Amino acid sequence: MDPKKAEGAAPEKAPEGPVIQKLPLSIRKLLGTHPERDWAKIRAFLVESEEEQELVELLPEINRVMRLVPAKLMGRIWKREISVDQPDKAYTRLHDAIHGVRQAALELLELAGLYEYRHRESAGAGGAAEALSPDDSPPREGDPGPLARPGGASRSGRT
């Protein structure tokens, strides 16, 4: 403990000015339009394939859907313009499509030999998965895996 600092004092922040100035203008604008407390929610991706580009381009649209659609749907349900089942079916289709992309990616990893399960024969393991290397290890029970959303399982709780 540094004798000059009082206990419980907040740690000093490193000056961020020079670091922020090195970022591209688009990222600086994004940071400028959001309060600092929301910066942890901002994610950046290095897009190296057409498929990744398509997924990244979908994120703002998914954000818009999740932000605006629920209130509009409730209004239409109350006016009896649509049935209660219609939004549920649409959200289920959205969730299933996202889950399908994750499953397809995992299948490709497995076909390439990068994500392989080996079941232990010992009685003490209880069928736990053993991986070829720590980098290629499968998710442990309760672990959502490498392709899961940050924060755990999906919003609906289905996986």
3-state secondary structure (DSSP) of residue 119: strand
How distant, in Å, are the alpha carbons of 98, 100, 107 from that of 50? Answer: 17, 18, 19
- pLDDT, one tens digit per residue, over 8-62 is 544 444 446 778 788 888 888 888 899 999 989 888 888 999 999 999 999 999 9
Q: What is the pTM of this model?
A: 0.55
**What tokens were used for 122?**
């010992």
Q: Please write the tens of the pLDDT for every residue from 117-151.
A: 433 333 444 444 444 444 445 555 555 555 554 44
pLDDT at site 76: 96
Average pLDDT over residues 61-74: 95
How far is it, in rounded angstroms, from Cα 26 to Cα 20? 11
Question: Contact, 57 vs 50, CB < 8 A?
Answer: no
Residue 14 CA neighbour count, 13 Å, CB half: 4
Rounded distance, CA 91 to CA 88, Å? Answer: 5
